[in-house]
Amino acid sequence: MFLQLGKETGARAGELFSLSWTDINQETATINITPEKGSNPRNLRYSKRLNNVLNQIPKIDNKVFSHYKSLSSLRRIFERQRRRCAHKLGNPGLLQITFHTLRHWKATTEYHKTKDILHVMRLLGHRNIKNTLLYTQLMNTQQEDYICKVAETTQQIAQLIKDGFEYICEHENLKFFRKRK
């Protein structure tokens, strides 16, 4: 759950570890992030799937992750599991993944989706755009796979836009759209 929260929100590990149940609004599937490192506070959305997981966790304490002694102990557990997975799968590249990798991944994918660096800056809580620029350079955009769709009617166009497709061009009264796989 900790890793999924990191992946979906891009929050720092310390910000996630300090979460209280009062920071989570399960009705709206949003989370209030109390910032670290002089960042801005933010309210972020998370998935229904994660919300279901959160609903199943017993709320014994005010803190969401109170069953871990500290962030360091949680990190050691993660590192142990990461080593096991890397060994079992024969993939030493997994050893390079850290909690902070999820923050970089979120920033990179959001920028790649939106091409809006200010949106990514707000998402990460940065006060300086220079910090945000460091996060948006992980993705290789040389090889991109797309789903392509064609629309003829305004209803089809509206549905494609609603589904996250991007308008590309028009040819013979047909509108062409694409979306990354």
DSSP letters of 132-153?
HHTTS-----SS--EEEEEE-S
pLDDT in tens, 102-154: 999 999 888 888 888 899 999 999 998 888 888 776 555 555 678 899 999 99
Final residue before a domain boundary, out of 66, 87, 120: 66
Domain that holds residue 35: 2-66
Indicate whether 75 belongs to any domain. no
Final residue before a domain boundary, out of 66, 92, 121: 66
Q: Count how many domains the chain has.
A: 2
Instruction: Say what the pTM is.
Output: 0.72
Final residue before a domain boundary, out of 47, 66, 85: 66
Indicate whether 119 belongs to any domain. no
Indicate whether 115 belongs to any domain. no
Indicate whether 141 belongs to any domain. no
Torsions phi, psi for 116 (to 5 deg): -120, 95
Give Cβ neighbours of residue 11 (< 8 Å, ≥ 6 apart): 5, 31, 33, 44, 103
∠ at Cα 75 (71, 41), nearest 5°? 50
